[in-house]
Each structure stands twice: as C-alpha cells, then as structure tokens.
C-alpha cells in the first residue's frame, strides 16, 4: 500500500519504518521538501521510503498517518490541500499537547471537543480514525513488548469501513483483535485524548513510557 506519514519526529519515524518493514511504500511529509530529519529517515530505510512536502505525501498516499504535533496538525492538513485528501483515511495518532503553561503539558483542546473532531469537522473529505494516541510510540508498533501484547488500543471514527481498514493495520503491527476497542464515532476521541492527562502523570511517577492500559471487566 502507498502510505503518507505526516511528521518527521520520533513518532513519524517509528510508524514510517514499521510500515516499510511490513512492505508498504511510505512517503514522509513535512512543511518543506528535503526536511533534514525526513532525508535522514529515507537514508536509513529501504528504497520503499521517500519524502516530500505535505502535499506531495498526501497525493502519494492512499492513506495518511498524522504524526505531527497536535498543535500543527490542522495547518499540515491545510498545506496538504483538500484535493489530495479527498476520500482518504486519516489515521490520527496525534495529541493536542500544549507545554506553554508548564509541565506536564495541558491539552489545547479538550473536555467538549478534541483534535480528532476538529480535524474531521474542518476536513469532511477525510475519513478520520483516531487511534494509537494513547501510548508511547515504541508500543504502537510493538505491542508484544509488554504483557504478551495483552493491553488495549482504542479506535474512534465515523466511518466503519475506515475503522476496519485501520484495525487491519493495527493487527499487522501486532495488535490482537480482542485488544482493539471501538469506542464509537469521532466524538469519542475526546476520551482517548483526555487520557493523556493521566498517562503523563503515570509517566512522571515511573519515568518509563513502556506501559499501557488494559481494560478489564
């Protein structure tokens, strides 16, 4: 599959490299062509990797992973261009973290809305699926690293077919069917994003990002 990854940070690199390992062709998108980190990432991956501006990557991808910082996500999608987004699945794994008020970061959107909803509202041509934002990126692509892979990943989105396709990608990352919890439509992304407040405080008390929640009942 031809996939765009928006964002050149550690999350984008981790997701991009995993997708390459799984045999996909991946174009990493950033604000400018030849972003230094994107060029480095292409060098360290196979010939299936490439990079370009957000618009190049969006045009290339059948599906787009949003791995930008949450506060830059809307702008990145605007730069991508509505024509390049039409009908595509956006796998939104970003969080609207805001460190401007001190640490731990607060959320720039929360409580009565979420970044996932705001993206879906501004870009109705996308099929947004919120997922994977609830954990450290190392676990996203390697869930078996802890608890024999037995912990929970959430999906939220309005389009059931899109959620099915994204769940298949999650399974290819190593997630078990029983670990994938469909919360409902994109408004439920509010819950998945607000969990970050607790994630951050658990992280600060343990200084170890390799943890997740398992829903038990």
Residues that bind a copy of itself (CB under 8 A): 101, 106-107, 110-112, 146-147, 150-151, 154, 181-184, 188, 190-192, 194-195, 197-202, 204-206, 208, 210-217
Cα(85)–Cα(142) distance, integer angstroms: 28
Secondary structure class of 81 (helix, strand, coil) = coil
| Beta-strand pair 153-157/127-131 | antiparallel
Least gap, CB of 211 to a copy of itself (angstroms): 3
Q: Look up residue 108 and give its two tokens.
A: 């720039």
Q: Compute the C-alpha angle 14/20/21, nearest 5°.
A: 90
- Pick between residue 20 and residue 192 the one whose CB is nearest to a copy of itself: 192
Least gap, CB of 3 to a copy of itself (angstroms): 28
* Cα–Cα distances in angstroms (integers) from residue 165 to residues 19, 35, 89, 130, 155, in the given order: 14, 30, 9, 13, 11
Give the number of other Cβ atoms within 10 Å of residue 53's Cβ: 20
Least gap, CB of 111 to a copy of itself (angstroms): 5
Least gap, CB of 206 to a copy of itself (angstroms): 8
- Pick between residue 12 and residue 116 the one whose CB is nearest to a copy of itself: 116
- Pick between residue 25 and residue 182 the one whose CB is nearest to a copy of itself: 182
- Pick between residue 44 and residue 205 the one whose CB is nearest to a copy of itself: 205
């Amino acid at each position: 599959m031809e996939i765009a990854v928006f964002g050149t940070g550690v999350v984008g690199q981790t997701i991009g490299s995993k997708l390459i390992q799984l045999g996909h062709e991946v174009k990493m998108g950033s604000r400018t062509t030849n972003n230094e980190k994107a060029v480095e990432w292409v060098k360290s991956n196979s010939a299936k990797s490439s990079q370009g501006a957000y618009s190049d990557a969006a045009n290339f991808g059948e599906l787009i992973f949003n791995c930008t910082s949450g506060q830059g996500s809307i702008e990145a999608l605007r730069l991508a261009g509505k024509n390049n987004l039409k009908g595509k699945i956006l796998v939104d794994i970003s969080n609207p973290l805001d460190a401007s008020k001190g640490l731990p970061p607060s959320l720039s959107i929360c409580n009565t809305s979420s970044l996932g909803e705001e993206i879906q509202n501004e870009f109705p041509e996308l099929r947004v699926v919120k997922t994977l934002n609830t954990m450290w990126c190392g676990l996203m692509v390697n869930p078996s690293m802890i608890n024999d892979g037995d912990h929970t990943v959430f999906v939220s989105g309005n389009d059931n077919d899109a959620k099915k396709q994204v769940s298949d990608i999650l399974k290819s990352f190593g997630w078990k069917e029983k670990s994938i919890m469909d919360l409902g439509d994109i408004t439920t992304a509010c819950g998945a994003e607000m969990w970050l407040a607790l994630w951050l405080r658990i992280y600060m008390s343990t200084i170890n990002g390799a943890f997740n929640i398992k829903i038990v009942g």
